[in-house]
Amino acid sequence: MASSSATSAERQRPELADIVRISGAQFAHAYPLSTEQKRVLDSIVNCRTAALGGHQDFCPSCGHSHPAYNSCLNRHCPKCQALAQQRWIDAREKRILPTKHFHVVFTLPSELRALAAFAKKPLYNALFEAASSTLLELARTHLGAELGITAVLHTWTRDLRFHPHLHCIVTAGGLSLQNHQWISCNHKFLFPVMVLGSLFRAKMAKILNTLYACGTFDRFDDFADPQAFDRLMQKLAKINWLVYVKKPFSNSIYVLRYLGRYTHRVAISNSRIVSVSRQSVTFRTKDGKSITISPCEFLRRFVMHILPSRFVKIRHYGLLASANVHTKLETARVAIVGRSHPSVSSDAPPPPLDWSALLFMLTGRDPRRCPRCGNLLVSFPLARVYPKPSIFDSS
């Protein structure tokens, strides 16, 4: 995918890539980085630059010419999420059930953050497993039904601190386990919050004990004391685990677009970065406030949110699990609306729009036409720089 070069005003706006470009090598000297973290930072720096190639747009009518460089398509890059988000929404639109949905957030307690930073993949997987099984079990015992769940992992706060939590969009009811009828839940709440928190805590404790017994945490410094793990588990058993439930959305299409904002959100967007220098980075947090920290501290916080390679951060459970898409999901749809409904199992999905058509749909700007006179552009390929430069070559 290629993108038109930014205007002069846009190029002057500070970006995440500027911070990495200016201070990345210094940061790598101060903090050990994994191969995956270096790859992500390099991708962000090279995104929409000559390093990735692209094409030169030329207007035969007025002579206007400008380069359009390719995007890196990395899921951590703030420049590459808008089109990916829209494509995801389009792909999921046929699967959304026409019913109310709750927004449920499961958060790891602060006592587990250091362990989650040490063993990201096992702890993230545990969070998905515990949260989804909590919802599915309560649906079976309280409703006698199976829910539809889409879960998305986030790991950050607005000031980029480490805060793993799971956003779940959950159907306000489920398909009966007995007679394939749709059973709606209470319109004001999904399940009692204290029950959700207690069961979530119990399931996480079971998984943590299994991981500890398997040696997953053997190199974790805090567990050098043989009694440390038991003390942690005792402490976790005494605190309330936070589960937040937002009142249901009535419009299923709105639910999908609301969820889309979460699925492709990255730790920080370029629009939140106010200023960048070799000494400091200022970015907006919330409620009109901002924070200023050193570039190395900014990058230290950012790389905490780089996911393990090939880790799946969007997962579907219950009726929305891939094994149920052509069976239980369609049965649930018929049970809700009382008739057949166009779905993924009936007709083949339409071919996806190419990037230029999708950009035109989202912004109203047609990248195939000259921004000056509106006539069609002619494009010539631009070769990518090879090998791509790395900010870590000198580190």
The residues spanned by each domain of the chain are 2-77+353-382, 95-267+305-337
Give the pLDDT confidence score for residue 6 in this predicted structure.
Answer: 44
Q: State how far Cα 220 lies from the chain centre.
A: 27
Give the count of beta carbons closer than 10 Å to the beta carbon of residue 273. Answer: 21
105 - beta bridge partners? 167, 244
pLDDT tens readout for residues 118-162: 999 999 999 999 999 999 999 999 999 999 999 999 999 999 999
Q: Are 294 and 187 in contact (CB under 8 A)?
A: no
Residues of the chain with pLDDT under 70: 1-11, 250, 252-253, 339-364, 386-387, 394-395
- Write out pLDDT tens, residues 180-209: 899 998 777 789 999 999 999 999 999 999
Give the integer Cα–Cα distance in Å for 235 and 179.
43
End-to-end CA distance of the chain: 30
Q: What is the pTM of this model?
A: 0.87
Backbone φ/ψ region at 173: left (φ over 0), alpha (ψ -120 to 50), beta: left
Burial (CB count within 10 angstroms: exposed 0-12, middle 13-18, buried 19+), residue 270: middle
Q: Which two tokens stand for residue 355?
A: 């990037």
